[in-house]
Structure 1
Amino acid sequence: MNNGISAEDLAKLLRDEVKRFSPGERLPSSRALVERFRSSPVTVSRALAVLAAEGLVVTRPGAGTYRARGPAVPAVPVRPADTSWQQIALSAEGAGDAAPRTVDASGVLATLTAPPPGVIALNGGYLHPTLQPEQALGAALARAARRPGAWDRPPMAGLTPLRAWFARETGGTVGTANVLITAGGQAALTTALHALAAPGAPVLLESPSYPGALAVARAAGLRPVPVPVDADGVRPDLLAEAFAATGARVFFCQPLFQNPTGTVLGAERRRQVVGIARAAGAFVVEDDFARRLAHGGPLPPPLVAEDQDGTVVHVTSLTKPTSPSLRVGALIARGPVLERLRAIQVVDSFFVPRPLQEAALELVGAPAWPRHLRAVAAGLRERSAALLAALGRELPCAEPEYAPSGGYHLWLRLPFGTDETALTAAALSQGVAVAPGRPYFVAEAPAPHLRLSFADTANVDEVGEGVRRLAAAGASIGLG
């Protein structure tokens, strides 16, 4: 039986208890801890692992857990380190730098940071554990570990069967040779922007756009330039103007269930966008992060599947529909650019660990994989409908401009004059975490927004409760 205690909370309780034991003395068995705290064996194991990592205990397989004999923490240094010099070293730019490099992860951390206990996460970027294929992942890892050579060095471009799977999933004329395995979508995006644009160069992005792309561009010393979107995706007329005005050679976009708006690039615009980029001698970096998060119904093919001239560099990943820790994705490209992408990845990280690649291959080849995708589609569809209904009932002034048929979030336009920061803080105090809209814009935002995610919620009841708490937060600052 599990009383809901987390591994972190159990570790805190045990941390004080360990002090009552002598160095080298044996602690109660894991079974005794399970019975005493009415917790699960997995929770107890994780709590003990935390204490072992802190140097408080030593675990001996088959013998038990003992209080460590040495000090748990290093001695405090006599003089605090002076690292103030780094402020100059990290900020000083050379005379030839066209754009300062700034590393701002705040927009990404808004969706990665776990909320405090009891807070409903309407800001998450990954599936709730109840939607993750934990059993299938565990089975895939176990089978992968038994494969011959599972711990050998993989081919630099990735395991050939896994590359072939990504090629088949993409369709069109994409072949195995066009695929490079990456450590997830974010790593693929980082590699792509480093490969395609030199420091100081402009890079075009949809506006609003994914904060992770903005962070990568700025960290690489690129100059992000916004191109507005409407209900049908990026506007081709403004995209052409942006290419002409800036001389940019890269356009980053998310044609399917765009983050944060949820829009899908229309059929005619798909052809226009690729044609405009080709005419400008530029690349389109297509982030297809949400293809396996559709709620049902037919989907347009990826832009890269219909591109014969090497204009599109495609980014895809298995992370979003599975687990944040299955960081396996792919870059797909045609022509000499693929060799540059491969070279940059080798320099940055060598290769993706083979056990992860083997596990991913086992997962997508198992009968459980299509069943999991159907379960994810149903779960997201239910949560999306619950979120829309709750907003209409509890907070009608913040209804979304667009209700997507895929993905895991809604983009809310707030009444003019609404203070996003105040609303976000008030929401957290009411027990619900939401993402403010400002980090999604390159330049000044045209209006205040919120992004609400429903992926990291346990069920539709939690979605409804989250909106009720958000409405209470809005009322506390005069929103209504």
Structure 2
Amino acid sequence: MNERSSVGELAKSLRRELNRYPEGGKLPSSRALVERFRVSPVTVSRALAQLAAEGLVVTRPGAGAFRSGPRAAAAPAGDTSWQEVALSADGATDAAPRTVDASGVLSTLAAPPSGVIEFNSGYLHASLQPERALAGALARAGRRPGAWGRPPTDGLPELREWFARGIGGAVTAAEVLVTAGGQSALTTALRALAPPGAPVLVESPTYPGLLAIARAAGLRPVPVPVDADGVRPELLERAFAATGARLFVCQPLFQNPTGAVLSGPRRCEVLRVVRAAGAFLVEDDYVRRLAHDDAGPLPRPLAADDPDGHVVHVGSLTKVTSPSLRIGCVTARGPVLERLRAIQVVDSFFVSRPLQEATLELVGSTGWSRYLRSVAHELTARRTAMAAGLQGGLPELALAHVPSGGYHLWLRLPDGCDEAAFVQAALRAGVAVAAGRPYFAAEPPAGHVRVSYAGVAGAGEIAEGLRRLRASTG
């Protein structure tokens, strides 16, 4: 049983037993609960915290946990129907609707029911995350002089320098802003680079979170098809000419969801097209540190080959570490940097200094490179196992490309297969997959699903998940 399900089961057991204790009565000690339920102290602590959040118990440091008194009666529900009119009227004159569908993002963030295998996760399984290294880094960071003071609004100079070195070329620390993760950086970039109502060119298919950001900002996503070598430059050029767009967002390395890498000749062509259009290119370099053992030398970021400031680079450490290490960067050259800086300051002031200090401790440690190699090795094995299992046991799910980086595979469903019904049948069989529809800005050419091998415990769970998937299609 994993930690999350253990916490849930213990909380459920304690919830059933609360009536045994009078109001204000003390629950058994944490040590007694550990021995009785044969769980870890961490599980006990989290279960009690869950009950405290529900208002059922009160925890007092050094004293223990106590049953809460009666809850106050809930206030009667108000009538919020007026909002339907107000929100509709608010968008009546918008050049583009601002209705946001976050389902594609939430499907990779929400924990599935207990016992369901996560083939839809967007993050590394806990067994792959550097939890000890993160804990040590955070502890050391918290003891640094000034660690809890106000940081520079642009981010700690040492962390900006580290990000700049990772991009390469002539990029300097002065052109880097530290952000609260990649999603925050993308949001800032799109708000800075295009006014509401403007078209924004996006890859098709593409990351649902990007589509949600664009629509929330009142932009009009215009899809440009991707194949095994990345976005097609001739179609990108036509899209710029047809729409008058001044912004293109792409993932040149291990694109989400296809896993494509923008080929060498296309890199030059894409940059030429963007320059000719007098446009910006937002480079979402979200997974550079999740290359596999067989990836070979990686192409450097597009920003490293852009002296004229057309490329705005977005990077993040979240995917390769932990969902809670919300540290990323946005890098730009020229006057646009000031606009990016102003938007970020208005939105969030600055990124937590202890988190920045902990990040410096982590990436500066002797074990950082060793950790990256171990993750690459493990993801390679998982990808190989999942690809082989799909090709051998589920050949009707077309796998056109096996990427050498990232954490997922992109599958085309058979013609005539109902995508929503497929996803629901898989869930009933005990495996969660990500539906393909949210990855398209317009009508998809066929049904698809994305399956991830990063959020599972290992090869055994991959095999079991594929077995369940076969059963759901039988």
Classify the TM-score, shorter chain: over 0.9
- Over the aligned positions, Cα root-mean-square deviation in angstroms equals 1.5
**Aligned counterpart for 2:149 among listed residues 145, 149, 152:** 152
Confirm or deny: 8 A CA contact 2:178 2:351 kept in the other structure.
yes
**Aligned counterpart for 1:165 among listed residues 133, 138, 162:** 162
Question: Aligned in 2, Cα 1:453/1:14: closer, same or farther, shift over 3 Å?
Answer: same
Confirm or deny: 8 A CA contact 1:101 1:219 kept in the other structure.
yes
SS of 1:129's equivalent in the other structure is coil
Q: Which residue of 1 aligns with 2:41?
A: 41
Confirm or deny: 8 A CA contact 1:4 1:39 kept in the other structure.
no
Task: Report the Cα distance in structure 2 between the residues aligned to 1:218 and 1:367, rounded to whole angstroms.
Answer: 42
Q: Which residue of 1 aligns with 2:362?
A: 363
**Aligned counterpart for 2:73 among listed residues 72, 75, 91:** 75
> Does residue 1:412 correspond to 2:411, yes or no?
yes
SS of 2:200's equivalent in the other structure is strand
Q: Which residue of 2 aligns with 1:11?
A: 11
Which whole-Å deviations, capped at 9, do the CAs of 1:114-168 have from their partners, x for residues lacking one?
1111111111100001110010010011001111111111100011111111111
Matches within 5 A, 1:44-63: 44-63=44-63
Question: Aligned in 2, Cα 1:5/1:435: closer, same or farther, shift over 3 Å?
Answer: closer
Confirm or deny: 8 A CA contact 1:110 1:435 kept in the other structure.
yes
Q: Which residue of 2 aligns with 1:350?
A: 349
Question: Aligned in 2, Cα 1:5/1:194: closer, same or farther, shift over 3 Å?
Answer: closer
Matches within 5 A, 1:208-357: 208-296=205-293, 297-357=296-356
Name the aligned partner's letter for residue 13 of structure 2. L
Q: Which residue of 1 aligns with 2:32?
A: 32
Task: Report the Cα distance in structure 2 between the residues aligned to 1:304 and 1:244, rounded to whole angstroms.
Answer: 23
Return 5+ residue gaps in structure 1 as ranges. 476-480
Task: Report the Cα distance in structure 2 between the residues aligned to 1:449 and 1:113, rounded to whole angstroms.
Answer: 20
Task: Report the Cα distance in structure 2 between the residues aligned to 1:90 and 1:132, rounded to whole angstroms.
Answer: 42
Q: Which residue of 2 aligns with 1:478?
A: none
Confirm or deny: 8 A CA contact 1:123 1:453 kept in the other structure.
yes
Which whole-Å deviations, capped at 9, do the CAs of 1:76-99 have from their partners, x for residues lacking one?
22x321111111222224564211
SS of 1:314's equivalent in the other structure is strand
Question: Aligned in 2, Cα 1:11/1:383: closer, same or farther, shift over 3 Å?
Answer: same
Q: How far did residue 62 of structure 1 move?
A: 2.0
> Does residue 1:182 correspond to 2:179, yes or no?
yes
Which whole-Å deviations, capped at 9, do the CAs of 1:158-187 have from their partners, x for residues lacking one?
111111111111111111101100000001
Q: How far did residue 371 of structure 1 move?
A: 1.4
Q: How far did residue 8 of structure 1 move?
A: 2.1
Task: Report the Cα distance in structure 2 between the residues aligned to 1:151 and 1:442, rounded to whole angstroms.
Answer: 42
Q: Which residue of 2 aligns with 1:89?
A: 86
Task: Report the Cα distance in structure 2 between the residues aligned to 1:57 and 1:95, rounded to whole angstroms.
Answer: 48
Name the aligned partner's letter for residue 210 of structure 2. A
Q: Which residue of 2 aligns with 1:65?
A: 65
Q: Which residue of 2 aligns with 1:460?
A: 459
Confirm or deny: 8 A CA contact 1:105 1:215 kept in the other structure.
yes
> Does residue 1:205 correspond to 2:202, yes or no?
yes
Percent identical pairs in the alignment equals 69
SS of 2:329's equivalent in the other structure is strand
**Aligned counterpart for 1:136 among listed residues 133, 138, 148:** 133
Question: Aligned in 2, Cα 1:386/1:2: closer, same or farther, shift over 3 Å?
Answer: closer
Q: Number of paired residues? A: 472
SS of 2:127's equivalent in the other structure is helix
Question: Aligned in 2, Cα 1:463/1:95: closer, same or farther, shift over 3 Å?
Answer: closer
Q: How far did residue 55 of structure 1 move?
A: 2.5
Name the aligned partner's letter for residue 74 of structure 1. A
SS of 1:397's equivalent in the other structure is coil
Confirm or deny: 8 A CA contact 1:93 1:100 kept in the other structure.
no
Name the aligned partner's letter for residue 121 of structure 2. G
Question: Aligned in 2, Cα 1:180/1:206: closer, same or farther, shift over 3 Å?
Answer: same
Task: Report the Cα distance in structure 1 between the residues aligned to 2:439 and 2:409, rounded to whole angstroms.
Answer: 13
Q: How far did residue 366 of structure 1 move?
A: 0.9
Task: Report the Cα distance in structure 1 between the residues aligned to 2:358 and 2:407, rounded to whole angstroms.
Answer: 25
